[in-house]
Chain A
Amino acid sequence: MYQYDQHDQAMVDARVAEFRGQVARRLSGELTEDQFKPLRLKNGLYLQLHAYMLRVAVPYGTLNSAQMRVLGDIADKYDRGYGHFTTRQNIQYNWIKLADAPDILADLAKVQLHAIQTSGNCIRNTTADHFAGAAADEVADPRPYAELLRQWSTFHPEFDYLPRKFKVAIIASETDRAAMRLHDIGIQIVKNEAGEIGCKFFAGGGMGRTPMIAPCIAEFVPALQMISFLEAALRVYNRHGRRDNKYKARIKILVHEIGVAEYSRQVQEEFAHILTLGLEPPPAELDRIKAMFADPGLETGLSDDLDRSDPDFALWVDQNVHAHKQPGYAIVTISLKPTGGIPGDATADQIRLMADLARDHSLDELRVSHAQNIVLPHVKKADLYRVWQALDAAGLATPNLDLITDIIACPGLDYCALANARSIPLAQKITERFADVGRQRELGELKLKISGCINACGHHHAGHIGILGVDRKGVENYQLLLGGAESADTSLGTITGPGFSEDGVVDAIEKVTDVYLARREGAERFLDTYRRIGMVPFKEAIYG
């Protein structure tokens, strides 16, 4: 994993000191709220429905055990004993006191974490494939590129006041595990015919009120020109992106309005110019970063044998454990979606337990997935049973990865000031209705995603089944969408028709799954059946 050098550390420490001064001046009344608000937002501190909320960046979703432990300790020491892992691979704390915020940032800085650029119209924390460095299907570990991107984008003065927020995701395999094409810029690390590593660029994706799938804007940019190309892509957006209308300010609107060909042309023109300026970091810097990710300490010659005699363990292995590139190892996904639970929430003790398991059994590494789960990327198969027992004892062994109860849900009206409707209680009801694991497995892969308003933080457009909370004359109402996806076959869901009450939407989902079970052919997933038979049969079942 990447380790800060003295420059990284000095920057983060200086920011903590600066914010400490700003908070002190706010508390003494020297700064008004109007003056202070942009400063606190620059440090991830929002004012939400009930209290201050702090969003901490987890760079490309990777953590070591010391960092994870501090995340748990912060939940205990400064919050109310829990944190919320988000679809942007970050963690949010819901009950922060203003005076504590500088101390929290100082605690984070000690383990090379911060909350910089987790708000505002800047380049936000880059997200990445949560199986990076462990997946068998990647052409390279995408994290060194993500780290280079982090260094380039942190405090980049030219991109501090973009027309709107800017989110980048990076993957390195054909299986897209990061919803890459639903980001402002998506990067896929690829190999060309000559075997050289480069970047395939996508631009103009996003969710929100105008969801769009990013088109490809460059098939192959040499890896050692990635930053120059990004600089060009951002520069064109910064120049022409709309600042007159917040709802038309994202890059997706620009790419859509001028067309992908024209946007790409301008980027290429700018790119050619930037290449003459020598802005690209020296190759030695990428090599320095790569060296830190190169070898997490995987052993060779380990056995792939697994004792599956405990049926509960075998079930969990089948559902939550993935193949690792190295024989004898496995990738474990810890579900933060127990029946009736709050998707993405973990208690301080659970967070610390996961930290301990990473230290003892996963070469000190963890990942936060965009599906709001935690990954132990490098677990020896020989240790799996012990890891499972420890997780099970802590309520962390729900065997439901990618099943209907592995729900992504935004905080919704229980926490979020922008919400129209609650997301979490609906997620809880759905997990209770479909609690039976056998039934869930019968339904197979089924990604259900809930947002409490049109901002789409819960990725509802990309759910095989999506739910959007709306406000109908002051009453919570839910629209149902079918057919979204966010993998290699990204698509946007379609609204079924009139909305439902909370209970009504749970019933409607059951009817949708009944249609699937009745109509599926062979090994079709829900999504495949939907794509084959279309919306009509589902509509008839729901409204008929």
Chain B
Amino acid sequence: MSAKIKIITGNDLRTGDVIWWTGEGWSRHVDNAVAVDHDADAIIARENARQVVTDTHVIDAFAADGTVRPAHIKDRIRALGPTVRLDLSLKPADPQAGNWVI
């Protein structure tokens, strides 16, 4: 069963890396993203104020069996990295990554 959730994403201000809100901080792996609710705006405001993340926003996703999959293909590719350069994507660190993009 997968549950429809909302998660927060953004980019690391310094490196530009795509990052996901884990409830405590930011992760580079989408699986570490946690569901947010009415608290999203407050989290974004607080994190933006720390000036370490940029372009923070909420997206739709599905959670199932400890994995998180963005609902839209654009966000799934954002989570993985370029599908034409898997060497530069999450895949080297997580061989399962990429099986869920399309």
Please report whether the interface of chain B is mostly helix, strand, loop or mixed according to DSSP: loop
Known: A33-B55, A51-B11, A51-B16. 6 other contacts (CB 8 A): A26-B13, A32-B51, A50-B81, A52-B11, A98-B13, A474-B72
Q: Does residue B46 face the partner (Cβ distance < 8 Å to A)? A: no
Residues of chain A contacted by B88 (CB below 8 angstroms): 80, 95
Q: Shortest Cβ distance from A45 into chain B, in angstroms?
A: 10
0/1 string, B28-61, CB within 8 A of A gives 1: 0000000000000000000010110011000000
Q: Does residue A96 face the partner (Cβ distance < 8 Å to B)? A: yes
Q: Does residue A443 face the partner (Cβ distance < 8 Å to B)? A: no
* Nearest 3 interchain pairs by C-beta: A29-B51, A51-B16, A52-B16
0/1 string, A1-43, CB within 8 A of B gives 1: 0000000000000000000000000111100110000000000
Q: Shortest Cβ distance from B27 into chain A, in angstroms?
A: 15
- State A92–B81 Cα separation when bound (angstroms): 17
Q: Does residue A500 face the partner (Cβ distance < 8 Å to B)? A: no
0/1 string, A46-85, CB within 8 A of B gives 1: 0101111000000000000000000000000000100000
Q: Does residue B97 face the partner (Cβ distance < 8 Å to A)? A: no
0/1 string, B44-87, CB within 8 A of A gives 1: 00001011001100000000000000011110011001111100
- State A26–B52 Cα separation when bound (angstroms): 10
Q: Shortest Cβ distance from B100 into chain A, in angstroms?
A: 14
Q: Determine whether the beta carbon of B83 is less than 8 Å from that of A51.
A: no
Q: Which interface residue of B18, B51, B77, B82 has the most chain A CB atoms within 10 A?
A: B82
- State A484–B73 Cα separation when bound (angstroms): 30
Residues of chain B contacted by A94 (CB below 8 angstroms): 82
Q: Does residue A413 face the partner (Cβ distance < 8 Å to B)? A: yes
Question: Known contacts being A33-B55, A50-B78, A414-B77, is A422 close to B83, with CB within 8 Å?
Answer: yes
Q: Determine whether the beta carbon of A414 is less than 8 Å from that of B11.
A: no
Residue of chain B at shortest CB distance from A97: B15
Question: Known contacts being A424-B84, A425-B83, is A47 close to B16, with CB within 8 Å?
Answer: yes
- State A9–B78 Cα separation when bound (angstroms): 38
Question: Known contacts being A33-B48, A49-B74, A49-B78, is A414 close to B84, with CB within 8 Å?
Answer: yes
- State A96–B78 Cα separation when bound (angstroms): 16
- How big is chain A's contact interface, by range? 20 to 34
Question: Known contacts being A51-B15, A52-B16, A97-B15, is A419 close to B74, with CB within 8 Å?
Answer: yes
Q: Determine whether the beta carbon of B16 is less than 8 Å from that of A413.
A: no
Q: Shortest Cβ distance from A22 into chain B, in angstroms?
A: 14
- State A111–B54 Cα separation when bound (angstroms): 32
Residues of chain B contacted by A476 (CB below 8 angstroms): 73, 102
Q: Determine whether the beta carbon of A98 is less than 8 Å from that of B16.
A: yes
- State A37–B81 Cα separation when bound (angstroms): 23
Residue of chain A at shortest CB distance from B75: A49
Q: Does residue A313 face the partner (Cβ distance < 8 Å to B)? A: no
- State A99–B12 Cα separation when bound (angstroms): 12
Residue of chain B at shortest CB distance from A417: B74
Q: Which interface residue of A50, A98, A422 has the most chain B CB atoms within 10 A?
A: A50
